[in-house]
Amino acid sequence: MLKLNYFTRVLSHISCQHRSLSTIHYKVQNRIAYITLNRPEVLNSINDLMPKELSTCVEKANHDSSVHVIVLAGEGKAFCSGYDLTYYAQLKNEKAVQEMPWDPMKDYTSMKENTEHFMSLFRSPKPTICKVHGDALAGGSDIALCCDMILMANEARIGYMPARVWGCPTTAMWIYRVGVEKAKRILLTGDKITGVEAEKLGLVLKSVPQEELSDEVEKLVRRMTAVPINQLIMQKLLINQVLENMGLRTTQMFATLFDGIARHSPEGMAFKRRSETVGWKTAVKERDSGTYDWTADKPLL
């Protein structure tokens, strides 16, 4: 039985290594695994496949004895603009919103799976560094905040706007990065903040001009690649354990449940109907500008 389990794991790993990727580009160079979100035509928005392919690549990097550090980035104009709302909100997709009465455990199971895929970056034994240019918004911010360190371009933006209506950040990493008050400042407004402000809040390690971002990431990562892999893993496990002891898993359970509730609340259902009627771009603009009353389901005068 032990031999069978071993060979099953080996075959699974080989399958991961050779599986073709449609939403992510993966390469290894000079002890660094580069994972790049690769749906630039839709600003790397998240579809059903991307979370699975992300964790597959993280696993692949951790099984590669030549890799010391993982760098996550986005292709094109942005890091990640969040979930693909054209698919999840404007179209009739039951993974995002079920017909009433809805099954909260079905929703939780589906979204928890995505959360775990994102958290593969946090729980990766090897360090993960995120390079953010353009937008890292909504679900895109969830992905970025799961990394060990984030470097942003000054003009890049990060935020979780669905906190205004239709969502809750399932990874809940905001509070663990900036503390209670600053997390409330972001999530009770749904504001987008620049890399400069994100650095001031302590949300990201560093913010630099766009033209310096790649060099700054490489400088940090190459400093780490000279450290033995076992040392990198030990230090990361030690630090991560602090957050685990603070109840990270329990917090994420509530956050994922609340995310489903937010999408199935009267206001959440109103947002979905509005997206279907006027298109998600208009609905999102109304949400973010505060010009629509989602409880009354009508524009504010």
Phi, psi (deg, nearest 5) at residue 80:
-165, 125
- 130: closest CA among 116, 151, 160? 151
Whole-number pLDDT of residue 95 = 65
280 in a structural domain: no
- Is residue 32 over pLDDT 50? yes
301 in a structural domain: no
107 in a structural domain: yes
Q: How many other CB atoms are found less than 10 A from the CB of residue 42?
A: 15
132 in a structural domain: yes
Q: What are 106-133's pLDDT values in tens digits?
A: 999 999 999 999 999 999 999 999 999 9
Instruction: Give the pLDDT band (50/70/90) at residue 15.
Output: very low
Q: What is the pTM of this model?
A: 0.91
Number of domains in the chain: 1
163 in a structural domain: yes
Domain with 168, as residue range(s), is: 16-264
233 in a structural domain: yes
Instruction: Give the pLDDT band (50/70/90) at residue 278.
Output: very high
Question: Do 33 and 26 meet the contact criterion of CB atoms below 8 Å apart?
Answer: yes
Question: Do 110 and 277 meet the contact criterion of CB atoms below 8 Å apart?
Answer: no
Phi, psi (deg, nearest 5) at residue 266:
-55, -40
Least reliable range by pLDDT among 54-58, 60-64, 94-98, 239-243: 94-98
87 in a structural domain: yes
Whole-number pLDDT of residue 249 = 96
For residue 85, the domain's CATH number is 3.90.226.10
